[in-house]
């Protein structure tokens, strides 16, 4: 994701409607749009521990990597996902917060 942030510091971000995601291997079509979404002015890496991640989330959402190709991720339909391996990361997503399940008391990440 660092490569994406470096790119976004130098280039204009475009709206999804202007450059929609197509799920196939293809070259990046660098094009500039008149409509921008947000401006990336900088980024920093967050340590991989719960306290550091929660501290970063108190300021803003953070980008994380997940193994989205695994069946438990692809077939997710609700609840707290238990199978969260840190190996074989293949997809970047936005971590927006965390919470605690009212019934079980189990903490979870909100992505």
Tell me the average pLDDT of the chain: 81
**In this predicted structure, which of 19-23, 27-31, 67-71, 96-100 has the lowest mean pLDDT?**
27-31
* Residue 33, pLDDT score: 47
- The b/e string for 23-39 (b: 16+ C-beta within 10 A; e otherwise) is eeeeeeeeeeeeeeeee
Q: Are residues 110 and 96 in the same domain?
A: yes
Residues 16-39 have pLDDT tens digits of 776 677 777 777 666 544 555 667
Domain hosting residue 37, numbered range: 1-42
Distance CA 1, CA 45 (A): 10
Per the CB < 8 A criterion, the answer to whether 92 and 8 are in contact is no
**Does residue 64 contact residue 93 with C-beta atoms inside 8 Å?**
yes
What is the model's pTM?
0.67
Residues 49 and 88 in one domain: yes
State the CATH number of the domain containing residue 105.
3.90.70.10
In this structure, are 38 and 48 located in the same domain? no
């Amino acid at each position: 994701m660092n490569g994406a942030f470096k790119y976004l510091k130098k280039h204009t971000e475009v709206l999804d409607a202007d450059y929609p995601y197509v799920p196939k291997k293809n070259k990046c079509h660098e094009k500039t749009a008149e409509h921008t979404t947000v401006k990336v002015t900088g980024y920093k890496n967050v340590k991989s521990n719960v306290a550091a991640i929660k501290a970063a989330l108190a300021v803003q959402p953070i980008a994380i990597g997940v193994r989205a190709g695994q069946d438990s991720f692809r077939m997710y339909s609700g609840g707290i996902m238990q199978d969260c391996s840190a190996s074989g990361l293949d997809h970047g997503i936005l971590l927006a917060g965390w919470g605690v399940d009212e019934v079980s008391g189990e903490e979870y990440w909100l992505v």
